Structure 1
Amino acid sequence: MGGPGDILQTDIDESVAAIARLSVVPRILDAVVRATGMRFAAVARVTENRWTACAVRDELGFGLQPGEDLVLETTICNDIRSHRQPVVFGNASAHAIYSQHHTPQHYGLQSYASVPIYTVGGEFFGTLCAIDSRPLAVDEEKLATEMTLYGELIASHMALEGRLAHAERALRSSMDEGVLREQFLAVVGHDLRSPLQAAGMAAESLADMDLPPRAGRLAKVITASARRMADLIDDIMDFARARLASGIPVAQLDQGDLGALVARVVTEVAAAHPAATIVSEVDMPGNLRFDPVRLQQLLANLLNNAIAHGDTRRAIRVDGRAEDDAIVLAVTNFGTPIDPATQGMLFQPFYRPESATPRPGLGLGLYIASEIARAHGGTLTVCSSAAEGTCFTLRLPLIGA
C-alpha cells in the first residue's frame, strides 16, 4: 500500500501531464518571454513540500526540464504560495527587498516575474514565472497585470481539460441514459461555459488597458483560445444531440449548387492551412436539397482530418460527382495507411488513433461527420491503402428540389 509520498508523487505527475496536454501553454510561455524580455519562463506546480516544473521555455540555459524539481525553500514561489501576490522586479541588486533575498543570490538572478495560478475551485496550484540573470527595465504593475491574465488563461484551460476528461470517463461508463443526459447538460451549460467566459473577460480587460503593443499578442492568444473552447462545446452539443436525443438536426432546404459550397469550404480550409495543397474536381447537378451549414461542417471536418493525418508533401483531393441515384463526394489524402482493424473505430465518438504527436480535439470530428451524413439519409465510409491513399466517401441520395 502506498504512503503519503506516493500520493504526492501521483499528484505531481498528474499536474505535469495535465499542463503538457494544454496546447496553449507553449504559446503562453513564448508570449511571457516576449512580454518580460526574460529568457526563461515556466509553469510550476507548487505545494507545501515541492516545486516542480510542469512546462518550460528555456533560452537562458537554466537547464530545468518538465518534471524536475527545485528545492522549494530556495524559490520565491514558496513565498507566493504563502502571500498569494504577484512578485515582479527588474533589478534585484537595486531592489529594497530582493537585494537581500536568498533566491536571487542563490540562482544569480536579477530580473523576475511570477504570479499565482489557481484551480477553478480557487485552490492554489502553482505559479507562472519568468527569470533572467540580466537586469531589465520593467513596468512592474503592468507586467504583473499581464502575467496574471496569462495565469488565468492557463487556469481556464486546465478547468476545461479536467471537465472534458470527466465527461469522457462518464460517457465510457455504463450508466443510466437519463443521468448521462443531465450530466451533459450540466457540463455544457455551466462547467464548460465558465472557462470560456473567463477567457472572454480577460480579452475584454486587455482591450480596456493602456498596455504596450505586445498586449495585442496576448489578446490574440485569448481570442483564439476562446474560439477553440467554443468549438469544443459545439462538438459536445452535437454529440449529445446525436447520442442522447434523436440525432443531429438538419434542415434540408433548396440550396442550389452543392458544388459551389464545396468550392467555398475548400478555399476557406486552404487559406487556414497554407502549407497544404487541396485539389478539387467537382461536377454535380444544381438545385439539390441539403443543409448547407451541416454539409459545410462535414466537409471541413474531413479536410482538417486529412491535413492533420496526411503527408503534407502530397495534395489532398476532393472529388464530387453524381452516380446513379446518389451524390458522391470523396476526400483523399496520402500518407501512412490506416490499419483495417482501426478503420472500424474511426467513426466512434472520442476515438483518436495513437500518435507520437499529441493532437487537439476530442475525437468527435469524424463521428459528427458520419452523423450528419446519416441525418441526410446518406453514409460516410473510409478505405485506406498505401497505393490509393486514405479516402473518406460521402454518399447522399440524389434528391432534387
Structure 2
Amino acid sequence: MPGDPHGTPTEDFEDLYENAPCGYLSLRPDGRIFKSNATLSGWIGFSQAELLGKKLHELLTIAGRVFYETHFSPLLRMQGFFNEVALDLVTKDGKKLPVLANAMERRDDAGNLLFTRVTIFQAAQRRRYERNLVDLRTAAEAAKGEAIAAKVLAEAGLTEEQAVAELREQFIAVLGHDLRNPLASINAGTRMLLQEELSDRAQKIVALMQGSVSRMSDLIDNVLDFAQGRLGGGITVALDAREPLEPVLQQVVDELRVGSPSRLIETHFKITHKVYCDRGRIGQLASNLLGNALTHGAADTPIQFLASTTGEKLEISVVNGGDPIPPEAMNRLFHPFFRGDGRDSPQGLGLGLHIASEIAKAHDGTLVVASSPVETRFTFQMPLEPDGEG
C-alpha cells in the first residue's frame, strides 16, 4: 500500500469501498441498485453485475419483503433514514444471511431524491446468541430428570429461570425501543397532513390517528418503564419542588379529554404546599389511573380526579362508577400484565396500574384501591418532602 515519506500508509478509497468490513448498496430513486461493493457480493454470492437493476426487497426472504415494504420503506420515505433494521438476505444458493441494515436518503436542494445509501452488517453471531438462549430452555425442558436439566443449564452458566427471564426482559426492552421509530414517523405524518387543506372527514380521521399515536406512545412508555424496572432495579425519579404540580395534572386531564370527548372528568385540585416529586412521573401515574377509569368505568358516570395536600402528604384520588372489581382480582391488580376477570380491554397491556404502583413506591408513597357497587377509588399518597429534607 502506498505511503507518505514518514511511513504512514494512505488509503486507497476505491479499495476501502470495495473491501470494507461491511456491505454497501446505492439505490436509484426507483429503488433499484446501481452500485454495490465486493464485500456484499462475497457474502451473498451474486456478482456486482448481477445486482445491478435489482431492488433491495428482491434479496430478502418472503416475510422480509412484506415487512420491508409495509414498515421500513415507508419509514425511510417519511424520515429519510432508518438504523439497525434486522433483515434476512437470501444468498445465491438459497441460504439465509442474517444482517443489520442502515439506510439514508440523499436529496438535492429542492428536496428531490437523488439516491439512497444502504450499509449492511452481518448479524449471524447476534442471532446465534439469541437462538442459544431459546435452545437452552428447550434442552432443559427436554432433559429427563432434574439432575440432567440442572447439568445442561449449569454448563451454560445460567439457570432456566435466569435464561427465560433475561430473554423476556431484553425482548420487552428492545421491542419498546424499536417501536418508537415507526410511531414517530406516523406522528410526523399526521402533523404534516394537518398543515394541508383537508376535508372535514379527513380532519376527523387524522384526529383519530393522533389519538391512537398518543395511546401507543403511552403503551410504549409503560413497556420501557417496565423493562427498566425489571432490568435496572426499579423506576428512577428526580425529586424537585421548584415547579408547581397542578399544571401537570391539568395537562393530563386536558389530553385525556381530547381522546375521550364524550366522557366527563371532574377535577378538584387544592395543592397548597410544595411537593418534592418527579412531576413527569406523577403525571404518568395520574394518566395511567385516569386511563384505567376511562376504560373500565361506567360511561354515564363522571370520573372524579382529586388532588390535594393535607398535613404532610400529597393525596391523589381517581374515582369512577361501574361494576366493582371482583374480589379475586384485587390481590393481583397491580401485577404486570394483569387486567382482571371481567375487566379486560383490548386497548392495554395490563401494565398501567403496575407502573403507577412502581412510581408510588419510588416516591416512598402508597397506591391502594377500594371498590364497591357504588364506586371504585384509587388513592395515591406520598410525603411532601423526602426523608432528610427540612
TM-score (norm 2): 0.51
Are the structure 2 counterparts of residues 223 and 310 from structure 1 closer, same or farther at C-alpha, using a change threshold of 3 Å?
A: closer
Whole-Å separation in 2 of the counterparts to 1:213 and 1:365: 34
CA deviation after TM superposition for structure 1 residue 346, in Å: 1.4
Output aligned runs, 1:177-192, within 5 Å: 177-190=165-178, 192=179
What is aligned with 1:332? 319
Larger CA deviation: 244-253 vs 203-212: 203-212
Instruction: Please tell me whether residue 347 in structure 1 is matched to residue 334 in structure 2.
Output: yes
Q: Given that residues 316 and 331 in structure 1 are in contact (C-alpha distance below 8 angstroms), is that contact kept between their aligned partners in structure 2?
A: yes
Q: Deviation string for 1:28-77 (max 9, x for gaps)?
A: xxxxxxxxxxxxxxxxxxxxxxxxxxxxxxxxxxxxxxxxxxxxxxxxxx
Are the structure 2 counterparts of residues 179 and 393 from structure 1 closer, same or farther at C-alpha, using a change threshold of 3 Å?
A: same
What is aligned with 2:242? 255
Q: Given that residues 347 and 370 in structure 1 are in contact (C-alpha distance below 8 angstroms), is that contact kept between their aligned partners in structure 2?
A: yes
> Could you say which structure has the larger radius of gyration?
2
**One of 261, 270, 289 as aligned partner of 1:302:** 289
Amino acid at match of 2:318: V
CA deviation after TM superposition for structure 1 residue 398, in Å: 2.4
Q: Given that residues 255 and 290 in structure 1 are in contact (C-alpha distance below 8 angstroms), is that contact kept between their aligned partners in structure 2?
A: no
Whole-Å separation in 1 of the counterparts to 2:383 and 2:200: 53
Q: Deviation string for 1:143-188 (max 9, x for gaps)?
A: xx9xxx9xxxxxxxxxxxxxxxxxxxx9xx9443443343234323
SS, match of residue 255 in structure 1: coil
SS, match of residue 64 in structure 2: coil
CA-based RMSD: 3.9
Whole-Å separation in 2 of the counterparts to 1:264 and 1:198: 24
Amino acid at match of 1:319: L
Amino acid at match of 2:283: Q
What is aligned with 1:122? 65
Whole-Å separation in 2 of the counterparts to 1:222 and 1:266: 19
What is aligned with 1:244? 231
Output aligned runs, 1:21-100, within 5 Å: none
Are the structure 2 counterparts of residues 217 and 121 from structure 1 closer, same or farther at C-alpha, using a change threshold of 3 Å?
A: farther
Q: Given that residues 320 and 377 in structure 2 are in contact (C-alpha distance below 8 angstroms), is that contact kept between their aligned partners in structure 1?
A: yes
Instruction: Please tell me whether residue 395 in structure 1 is matched to residue 338 in structure 2.
Output: no
Q: Any gaps of 5 or more consecutive residues in structure 1? A: 1-117, 125-144, 150-169
Output aligned runs, 1:200-215, within 5 Å: none
Are the structure 2 counterparts of residues 326 and 212 from structure 1 closer, same or farther at C-alpha, using a change threshold of 3 Å?
A: closer
Larger CA deviation: 178-187 vs 342-351: 178-187
Whole-Å separation in 2 of the counterparts to 1:294 and 1:354: 28
Q: Given that residues 190 and 209 in structure 2 are in contact (C-alpha distance below 8 angstroms), is that contact kept between their aligned partners in structure 1?
A: yes
Are the structure 2 counterparts of residues 209 and 272 from structure 1 closer, same or farther at C-alpha, using a change threshold of 3 Å?
A: closer
Amino acid at match of 1:393: T
Are the structure 2 counterparts of residues 358 and 207 from structure 1 closer, same or farther at C-alpha, using a change threshold of 3 Å?
A: same
Amino acid at match of 2:224: M
% identical equivalent positions = 34
CA deviation after TM superposition for structure 1 residue 329, in Å: 1.6
Q: Deviation string for 1:308-366 (max 9, x for gaps)?
A: 11112222222333444322221111110111221111111111224487430211111
Whole-Å separation in 1 of the counterparts to 2:258 and 2:201: 25
CA deviation after TM superposition for structure 1 residue 278, in Å: 2.4
Whole-Å separation in 1 of the counterparts to 2:228 and 2:301: 36
Amino acid at match of 1:277: L
Are the structure 2 counterparts of residues 210 and 242 from structure 1 closer, same or farther at C-alpha, using a change threshold of 3 Å?
A: same
Output aligned runs, 1:12-27, within 5 Å: none
Q: Given that residues 176 and 223 in structure 2 are in contact (C-alpha distance below 8 angstroms), is that contact kept between their aligned partners in structure 1?
A: yes
**One of 363, 366, 373 as aligned partner of 1:379:** 366
